[in-house]
Amino acid sequence: MAELRHIRPEGLSNAPTYSHAVAATGGTTIFISGQIAVDSAGKTVGVGDLAAQTEQVMTNLGIALEAAGAAFADVVKITTFVVNYEPAHRPVIAEVRGRYLSADNPPASTLLGVTALAAPDYLIEIEATAVI
């Protein structure tokens, strides 16, 4: 069984939605490829709707985690890529993400604005690393 230690060091601002670092010992590390807003048939979900796409991405991450024997509580790091990112996008993403990730022990997190993703209708992609 993996042991996770969520680190919020003094001297860095308190970030309620992510941990500055997560130390993991023991267990198995799982790398989840960037998930996009497509359903099980490969159809894009929520074209033009960041909230709907974020919901589908998080659903897809959950499916991939479960298939690997993990859960959202085991996620130690996520990286989020958002097309044409603007600060107004952050609360939209945070609201959806907050329903999946622990508020007490959130993973380390990076958010990046990008010019484009693999297909023109994709607005967001999230990859994750978990330890079980």
**CATH entry 3.30.420.40 includes domain 3-131:** no
Burial class (CB in 10 A: 0-12, 13-18, 19+), 90: middle
Cα gap 70→77, rounded to integer Å:
13
| Token couple for 26 | 């023991």
At 84-120, the pLDDT tens digits run: 999 999 999 999 999 999 999 999 999 999 999 999 9
30-86 pLDDT, tens digit per residue, is: 999 999 999 999 999 999 999 999 999 999 999 999 999 999 999 999 999 999 999
What is d(CA 14, CA 17) in angstroms, rounded to the nearest whole number?
A: 9
Confidence tier at 28 by pLDDT (50, 70, 90): very high
